[in-house]
Amino acid sequence: MATQGNHSPFMLKAMACSAGIFLVAGAVINLLDTYLDLTLLADATGWLLSFWDWLLLESPVPNWSLLMIIAILISTLSVAIYYARMTDGAYGELHEIERKVYKKNNPHFPQLTDNQTLLMEALAYHANFRKVANLNSICKLVSLSTLEVEAGLKQLQAKRLVRQKVTRGTFGATIFELTLAGKDYALERLELT
């Protein structure tokens, strides 16, 4: 609290603002009176005086208290609507996070080991750039041995995420590609574009 003789800065600012408002309002009214015909201002003053008389009428419930109750109800409703709209986005984000956690904990896709996940990322990379995924290119991309890659690809084939194609002819090769379930897995779990 401010001691006697010392005024709080808030009090000084409030007094300065109110004095400034009265000075500006008086200057504006004098300028408008000088340069414009103010019959509208006289009419508005008449309406305001009539409204003031209505507020001061004697009745079982004074009119001013009725207006205050209506103003409180409207302001309470406005605040409620504001907070409801403001928190709506937060609840949407929370719902999205909960959905991701639920999907991660209750997957409709099989759980993969780290090597299998690496192989899925490599195959998704090949599919994304329309490259042929053979055993050598996958080994180079994931930095695993050929035996590890072969074992991981067989496990992914057993889970029906990857399929193997063998081409015949002079330049026959074995290529690997994602199945539809593998593509869904890559899109959802690996968050690829």
Is residue 178 assigned to a domain? yes
Over residues 64-94, the pLDDT tens digits come to 788 888 999 999 999 888 877 776 666 667 7
pTM of the model: 0.44
Q: Specify whether 25 is located in the same domain as 96.
A: yes
57 Cβ contact list (under 8 Å, min separation 6): 63
Q: Specify whether 66 is located in the same domain as 129.
A: no
Q: Specify whether 141 is located in the same domain as 176.
A: yes
Over residues 8-42, the pLDDT tens digits come to 666 777 778 888 888 898 888 888 777 776 676 67
R_g over Cα of the chain: 38
CA atoms within 13 A on the CB side of 110: 16
Is residue 181 assigned to a domain? yes
Task: Count the Cβ atoms, other than its own, within 10 Å of residue 179.
Answer: 15
Q: Specify whether 140 is located in the same domain as 169.
A: yes
Is residue 37 assigned to a domain? yes
Is 146 exposed, middle or buried, given 0-12, 13-18 or 19+ CB atoms closer than 10 A? exposed
Q: Report the domain count for the chain.
A: 2
Cα 99 from chain centroid (whole Å):
16
Among 100, 131, 166, the domain boundary falls at 100
Domain range enclosing 169: 114-189
